[in-house]
Structures are given as structure tokens and as C-alpha cells.
Chains A and B, each alone.
Chain A
Amino acid sequence: MKENKDKLNRFSGTESYVITDELRSSVNAAIALEKPLLIKGEPGTGKTLLAEAIAEGLGLDLITWNIKSTTKAQDGLYVYDTVQRLYDSQFGEGDVANIEKYIKPGKLGEAFTKGNQAVLLIDEIDKADLEFPNDLLWELDRMEFYIPETKETVRAKSRPIVVITSNAEKELPDAFLRRCIFHYIAFPEYEQMEEIVRVHYPDIDGKLLALAMKKFYEIREMDSIRKKPSTSELLDWLMALSLSGISLQKIGEKIPYLGVLLKKDQDLDAITKKGRGRY
């Protein structure tokens, strides 16, 4: 199972995804060591996008498993539709003897049974029950699981690249953490942010960008702001600013379309109050 070693599936970002050295190192380590990559970070730092970018960059299929508060580990492996089978047996429909027909693979099962390697994204793992990650330890370690109903072991034909994201709503169990390559996506520094914006809006006016970014980082640094605006909000805001054709001078004086950046009432108040004295 070490075929990755030779190929050195090296991921180096894609056209639309700007990646730091740090992150690239973690991604490649996870791929080569065949460990799940655990990504944490502020909302809006592109955790989910990373998995898409890896799939795109390496030309692999992406399988996304969105975790909800009710998701069970078992759901990811397979679901045995007993009720359907019971009904079918009553009404003589289909081949009831064939249990396999009633075993539906979950997302993990799908990634395992796929002929070629896939990227498996387990999105927002912290949304699930506290014990959820523990229930997946074996499956992620060994990349296999057993279906008692068919006495069959499903083993990954080609080990998927597993990317797990977490918003740190719940603490993840230690045993689980130790099996992952951990990466924390820090909020982009000014230069990197500029690069990210350029990827999205290649034609943006340089002066507008510089001014808007200055304001943006000023707002982020204010202590009174509870929900700090993130990359996606900055992008939306830049879009709003450039579409409106507002003059640079006005942006310098006050902050137009503040609602795009800040979503909480208290935060808006904080800026406007401050604004009276400052801007």
C-alpha cells in the first residue's frame, strides 16, 4: 500500500487555491504517510475548499461526507435496509435472498470500494456526537470494515486521501487526534490575502484593493468585534465596492457596505460608534 511513496503524489495548490508552504507540507505528509489530514481554522479560511483543491490538483474524485449532529459512524460505512427487504419478501418483489442488494454503502464505503483513489472529505466532524471520531478509528486506520450481514470485509482498493475539517465546536478525542496529521489554517497574512484576492478578481483596481484591505485588517484587529470578517466576506465586500464604483476617497472616509463585512448587530454598532470619533 505504499505506492504513494514512489509516485510522490505531490500537491502544490491549484490555479484557484492559494496554498502556503506550511499547508502544502502538511497535505503531502498526510498523503505520503497515509494518515487523515485534520484541518482546523477560523470559519472562512477555506478548509472545505482545500479538499476540493486537492482532488482537482491531483485529478482525483472527491467524495464529501457532510457530518450533522445526528450522523452516526455506521452511516458512513453502510446502511442495511431491513424494512425494504421485509416488504419485498412479503410482496415477492426482487431477489430477497440477495442481502447485498439491501446493503447501501455510505460515503466511507463508497470511497473504499471505488476502483481508483479518491479524496474523502469528512466535513465538520465536530458537529457529530462526542464519540463519533472514536467510532471511526479502526476504519480510518485499517481502511476496512466488516459487514456481518454478508460476512464480507470491505477493504479499500486504493487508500483514499482523507481530509477532515473541524470548527472546534467540540473537543476531539485524543486517540483520534494522535492518528491525524494536524494543520491549523491561520488567517492569511496581508501578502497572502492579496494573492488570494488576485486569484479571484484578477482585474481589480490596485488602489481600491490596497485601501479596502487596510480597512479590512483594521476591523479585524479591533477587540470589540465578536465575529471577525473572513476571507469570503472580504471577497464579497470587494465585489460590492467595485460594482458600486464608489470613489476611493469615500472608502477612506467611512466604510460603505459595512453589512457585507459584519453580520452581528453589536459589531456594526461598535464600528459606527468608533467611527464618530475616528473617521
Chain B
Amino acid sequence: MFITFFYMLRAAGLKPDTKQWLLLIEALDLGLADSNFSSFYYLCRSIVVTTESDFDKFDAVFLEYFRAIKDMGDIPNELLEWLNSKPLIRDIDDKPEIEDPLRDLEELLKRLEERMEEQKEKHEGGNYWIGTGGTSTQGHGGWNEAGIRVGGEGRHGRALMVAGERRFRDFRNDQVLDLRRFQTAFRKLRQFSTRIDNNETELDIDETIHKTSDNAGMLEIVYGKPRKNTVKLLVLMDSGGSMTPHSAMTSLLFQSVSKANHFKDLQFFYFHNCVYEKLYLSPRIWRGESVDTDFVLHKYGSDYKIIFVGDAAMDPSELYYRWGSSSWNKQRSMAGIDWLNKINDHYNRAVWLNPINKNSWNYLYGGDTIGGISKVFPMYSLTPDGLEEAIRKLLRTN
């Protein structure tokens, strides 16, 4: 039952779609596997896997699927036919036959569950469930017949129904991170203007018509400055301590911001827990690598937009008292909250991105300070959805 392989791949978090699968079948029909098992392996991989980071997952599934085969002579007939490059004709009634469908199915479901467990812990590649759900409702014809059956029976299996459907929801809310979606979100952070020093390279149509008319019809072409993004961005990131568990997420954010090359200016500063009189130049929070917060406020004018990244979870004393506890900064002129208010007064647009999921803000350690800070800055979850919302907020003019 070769199609099991397809579903095993999907279960492992790879996301081959029907088109890719059909392409693989076409390739096998064309005899591209060269009647050779290793060619078959490479062929499969080059079609089904789209990034090298998934090679390992593919290998695991490939091994698992073919482990049962004691030697190469034992390849399923179906596959052997392809490997021998015989033309293969399939009609809609030609469904794969399973000797013991239930056992196969149970095995598959068990594997699915294992994968889900693994996934929950690692929090990555989370949308495969959505993907799998998608396939079970779409599709037609001989190939998907089996697919629907697998999915359909899965829905009747009690364990999978309870476990599977719950996690489906979880993944949707929690939209596990996706570099590309982050990058796309940041692209929306644009405000165009022509009032920037730039070469005049763009045809100014209105002005050209105007001048040409003035010229009694003799063409006079006028070029203007291209519109450029004027958004200037200041990113302030919490570093160390309670942020450590979120480092994968914040580094994803960091990457997507720093790779976005469309900002007029982009500056990063770091702080620990809350902003006080110093901001740090590197996430190491070393005293030697710091500048006065006042200097930053002075240097970067109120037209900068501010993004805070931090869990905002700390001991209330660190936010509200002038003599906060855990810091080496004994001489504090102002409490953390006053600093935050000062920054808020200075800049027109500031948002706070919190790697802690919004649903838990009220319940976790730090709920007090999260609440306090979100009264100063609009706070969003550090997820693609949250980021998109935050960026809309940053761009709002009133």
C-alpha cells in the first residue's frame, strides 16, 4: 500500500500535497527511478521535500516505511512495477487493497498520535494538523479514496477524535511561528513619502502633462523622486532571565526585522525586565555596552515607532519602586513604570509584543506587571496574528 507512505510523510510534518504526489507518480511512470532503489529515494525526496531541514524527517519516514522490506526483492509489487518503468494505468475503481486495513490504520493512528505528542513539546511546524484536516475533506478519484478512508475512519476512532480535534484548535490559536509570515507582516509597516533625498528616477506624469501643455505640445518629460518608506523603527528587546525560554521566538522576530531592508532607519536596544536609565547595545546586557535612555530619547525623535519585545513579567517592585530589587542598578532616579510612561509620552506610536500567549497573561507569574504595562502600551502576543495587529496599530494615524 504505497499511498500509506504519503500519509506517513504528512503525519511526520512534511506537507506533500496531492499535486506533488501525482507528480511523483508521473515521474515513476516516466521511468525516472531507473529501476534502482537509490534513484527512487532521491527522486521521491526531490519532489516531496522542499527544504533541506526536512530531509531528516523524510529519511525517518522512508526508513520506517521500507524497514519491513527484508531485502530489495521484497519491494511491494506496485512499486516494483514503477521501478521497472512499466506504463501504469489506474482507474477510479483501482483502490489500494489492504490485507488487514484495521491493523494498518491503527498503526498509522498510533504514529500520528506519537507525532502529535512530539509536536506539542517542540512547538514547531505546527500547521500539519490543519493540513491533514484539509486533505480529508478535499480530493477525489482513485488516489484520494484511500486518503479519505484513512481520515474518515480516524474521525470515528475515539482517541484520535478527542485528541486530534482539540489540538487542531490549539494550533490555530497559537499559530506557531513562521518566519515568512513575520517578514510579510513587517512589509506592511510602510508609510510612503517623496520628501526624501533621492535621485529623480520616476516619471512624474502630472507634471509632464503640465509642462508639455505649457510647451504648446512639445513633449517635456519631468522626473520625480520615487516614493520611499519613511518608517523609522526602534526595537527594544528584553533579554535574559525570564526571556530565555522565548529566545527562539524572539530571534525569529529579530531575523525578520533585521532582514527587512525597507525601513528608513532601524535601531535595536536591549533591556533587562524593564527599561531604566540605561539601554544596552547587545543582548548580553553588559554595563560597558550601554547608553543612557535619555540619550536615546533625545537622539531618536518622536517620529520613530517603538516596538517593545518582552514578557513584561517581573516582580512588581521592579516595575513600581524606585529602589527595585534584583538589579545592580542601585541608584534609580525613577521607577520602571515612570520610564515607560516617559517613553510613551515621547513617542507617538509604541506597541509591546509579548511572547507569552495572551490567554495566559492574567494567570501566570507576572500577571500584575503585564497588566500594568499593557495600560501604558498596547500589548499583543508575539505571533504572526499579534504582530499584524500591532503593525496596524503602529500605522494608525489618530
A residues apposed to B, CB below 8 Å: 5, 21-22, 25-26, 28-30, 32-33, 35, 38, 40, 69, 83, 86-87, 89-90, 130, 169-171, 173-174, 177-178, 180-184
Contacts and interface: CB of A to CB of B under 8 A. Distances in A.
Given A35-B23, A69-B261, A178-B20, A130 B184 contact: yes
Contacts of B15: 174
Contacts of B23: 33, 35
B352 to A, nearest CB: 26
Given A130-B183, A178-B20, A87 B219 contact: yes
Contact of B27 (A32, A130, A171, A177): A32
Main secondary structure of the interface of B (DSSP, over half): helix
Interface stretch (B41-49, B74-82, B371-379): B41-49
- Pairs A-B, 8 closest by C-beta atoms: A177-B50, A184-B52, A25-B42, A26-B46, A90-B219, A171-B180, A181-B46, A22-B42
Contacts of B17: 178
Contacts of B218: 90
A25 B36 CA distance: 11
B138 interface: no
A184 B52 CA distance: 6
A21 B50 contact: no
A184 B54 CA distance: 11
Nearest to B38: A21
Nearest to A89: B219
Contacts of A169: 259
Nearest to A130: B183
Interface string B13-54: 001010110010011001010100011001100110111100
A33 B50 contact: no
Nearest to A28: B32
B51 A25 contact: no
A29 B51 contact: no
Contacts of B187: 130
Contact of B203 (A69, A83, A174, A181): A83
Contacts of A170: 183, 259
A33 B39 contact: no
Contacts of B259: 169-170
B205 to A, nearest CB: 10
A130 B26 CA distance: 31
Q: Which of B20, B55, B219 has the most CB of A within 10 A?
A: B219
29 contacts: A5-B30, A21-B38, A25-B32, A25-B42, A25-B43, A29-B47, A30-B46, A33-B26, A33-B27, A33-B30, A33-B32, A86-B221, A87-B221, A90-B219, A130-B180, A130-B183, A169-B259, A170-B183, A171-B179, A171-B180, A171-B183, A174-B15, A174-B50, A174-B180, A177-B50, A181-B47, A182-B50, A182-B51, A183-B46
Interface of B: 15, 17, 19-20, 23, 26-27, 30, 32, 34, 38-39, 42-43, 46-47, 49-52, 55, 179-180, 183-184, 187, 203, 218-219, 221, 259, 261
Contacts of A21: 38-39, 42
A32 B19 CA distance: 16
A21 B38 CA distance: 9
Given A26-B43, A69-B261, 19 more contacts: A5-B30, A25-B39, A26-B42, A28-B32, A29-B32, A30-B46, A33-B23, A33-B26, A33-B47, A35-B23, A87-B221, A90-B218, A130-B183, A171-B180, A178-B19, A181-B47, A182-B46, A183-B46, A184-B52
Contacts of B26: 33
A38 B145 CA distance: 31
Which of B23, B32, B218 has the most chain A CB within a 10 Å cutoff? B32
